[in-house]
Amino acid sequence: MLNDHPGVKADTRDKVLAAISASDYQPNLLARQLRTAQSHILLVLISDITNPF
């Protein structure tokens, strides 16, 4: 479920879930990363790949 907030009524939750399935909604991971400021991406920068050290 999206957020599964306890303050949402069951009939409202059912309507939202029905709209999600009807529209084939897929969460945008890039937007979520921007919103949470967490990307879980590790960057490795190598200046010279031919140097074994």
Taking only the tens of pLDDT, the chain with its 53 residues reads: 578 888 999 999 999 999 999 999 988 888 888 888 877 888 888 888 787 76
Q: What is the pLDDT of residue 9?
A: 92
Q: How far apart are CA 11 and CA 20, in angstroms?
A: 14
Q: What is the pLDDT of residue 21?
A: 93
Answer for the pair 20, 14: CB distance below 8 angstroms, yes or no.
no
Q: What is the pLDDT of residue 15?
A: 94
Q: What is the pLDDT of residue 36?
A: 83
Measured CA to CA in angstroms, residue 31 lies from 9, 28, 48 at distances of: 27, 5, 33
* 3 state DSSP class of 19: helix
Domain count, the chain: 1
Domain with 12, as residue range(s), is 1-53
